[in-house]
Structure 1
Amino acid sequence: MNIDEGLLHSFGAEAKIYKKREIIFKEGDHAQYYFQISKGKIKLNNYNEDGKEFIHNILGKNQSFGDPLLFLDHPYPMNAICLEASEIIRLPKGNFIEMLKKHPELSLEMNACFSQQVYYKFVMMQNLSSQNPILRLKGLMDYLKSYHDGDCTHCFTIAFTRQQLANLTGLRVETVIRTLKKMEQEGDIIFKDRKILY
């Protein structure tokens, strides 16, 4: 979701600067703000009982995060951590609800955004249930590419590290590296300047 920054500020939002690796909220916290990225990158993650990281999503400029929890009385099921120095606009929960009441068209946009998130979760759950690492990686890449205009081969840059791909798919980084090499041999991807083109 991307709400006009001027509108957010008119309802009392503030821009806050976060450092790389700084935690915006952690698993177990209660939602107190609407967050929208003005600059930088954020990862939503948590850790299993063995300490292995699972990344739910990586978000960038003009994307919001944590919004669904503003409508529930549940704690966050994940952490939000800066991957780089970031500027985040945050609007207190009460002000956010007031803004939605005065601008109901935003609720429709938010519903579309939530629907997209639910769709992503279904696609990822389906792909993560596969034992085949190629299907897991292709599922993630297909989803990421779905936001790219045009239907082309090897034109979409996957902007994640091998480790991030592993954390997003629940695979080991060694498995991701081997699988990407196999996908390259099969013509699914190409490598250019250490970037993956899908």
Structure 2
Amino acid sequence: MHVAHDDNIPCQQCEDCGFKAANGTCVNRIRLFAGLPDNAKHDLLARSVRSTHRRGDILVHEGDPIDSVLIVRSGRIKTFRIDPDGVEYVLDVLHDGQAIWHGMFLEDNVYHYSVGCLTRVELCSIHRTDFEAMLSEHPDAAMGLIRMVCTELDDAEEKAMMLGIRDPRRRVAQYLLLRDERCMGTEIHLGLEDIAASVGLRPETVSRAISSLSKEGLVERVGRGRLRIIDRDGMRGV
């Protein structure tokens, strides 16, 4: 990772970790490690490194080698690309418990996008060699990995279908439903510009769509960059 951070310490020293306080670890919160035995999870956590990053920091740049699994302990990050004209396109937004690792085992194991912090972010990183050693010691974990990849392919197909919707209002509604299914808690924490970049629309178009959905009682603005879906069935019918 090519960014300065506030600290960089082994994760087993994270006495203030919110996951630990809840009688768990960040490893328990991501699909990638869901099927691992407890001793394998503990071993990975012992080998991982914690780091803290500021809002606006770039964690990796497009073209960097994928040499670690990056787990979001807290905060939100975005994956994005910038076209030749300098326009940014947000590919995805990830939050607490989610991880970036795709492509790590490919021959061309480099990032085809950049990763930036939308908020203050705390990460745990597990190096590729440590993860490969775990798979060698626990071959049954490979099946869980395959199942997880299939699930994420389904998610990607859903997002592709959403981006194909021509009506801006309906596209925004479907995107908010997708985010609501993946977010932690009852609120969607995304700024207007981040939503616009994610759905390929102008911020003012997204603002009008959200205002329309709000007037119909389908969503509620609960603060700056915070939305809550009130009527999921109604949103699906938009």
TM-score of the superposed pair, with normalisation by structure 1: 0.84
> Among 137, 150, 154, which residue is 1:115 paired with?
150
- Does structure 1 residue 196 correspond to structure 2 residue 231? no
Q: Which residue of 2 aligns with 1:177?
A: 207
Judged with a 3 Å threshold, the aligned counterparts in structure 2 of structure 1 residues 148 and 172 are, in CA distance, closer, same or farther, namely closer
Share of identical aligned residues, percent?
Answer: 21
> Matched residues in 1 for 2:74 and 2:134: separation?
23
Answer yes or no: is the 8 Å Cα contact 1:36–1:63 preserved in 2.
Answer: yes
The CA deviation at 1:90 is 1.4
1:78-93 equivalences under 5 Å are 78-93=113-128
Cα distance per residue 1:69-103 (max 9 Å; x no partner): 11112221111112223222112212211112212
Cα distance per residue 1:4-39 (max 9 Å; x no partner): 7633233x3222232322222111112111111223
Answer yes or no: is the 8 Å Cα contact 1:43–1:82 preserved in 2.
Answer: yes
- Does structure 1 residue 40 correspond to structure 2 residue 71? no
> Matched residues in 1 for 2:223 and 2:121: separation?
26
The CA deviation at 1:50 is 2.1
Q: Which residue of 1 aligns with 2:103?
A: 69
Q: Which residue of 2 aligns with 1:9?
A: 45
Cα distance per residue 1:122-147 (max 9 Å; x no partner): 11111111221122112212222334
The CA deviation at 1:105 is 4.0
Cα distance per residue 1:139-187 (max 9 Å; x no partner): 21222233479xxxxx942221111111111111010001111222333
Which amino acid in 2 is paired with 1:164?
A: D
Judged with a 3 Å threshold, the aligned counterparts in structure 2 of structure 1 residues 126 and 191 are, in CA distance, closer, same or farther, namely same
Which amino acid in 2 is paired with 1:78?
A: Y
Choose between structure 1 and 2 for higher RCO, CA contacts under 8 A separated by at least 6 residues: 1
Answer yes or no: is the 8 Å Cα contact 1:123–1:139 preserved in 2.
Answer: no
Q: Which residue of 2 aligns with 1:186?
A: 216
User: How many aligned positions are there?
Assistant: 191
SS in 2 for 1:91: strand
1:122-161 equivalences under 5 Å are 122-147=157-182, 156-161=186-191
Moved more, 164-173 or 80-89: 80-89
SS in 2 for 1:56: strand
Which amino acid in 2 is paired with 1:196?
A: L
> Matched residues in 1 for 2:151 and 2:58: separation?
25
Answer yes or no: is the 8 Å Cα contact 1:43–1:58 preserved in 2.
Answer: yes
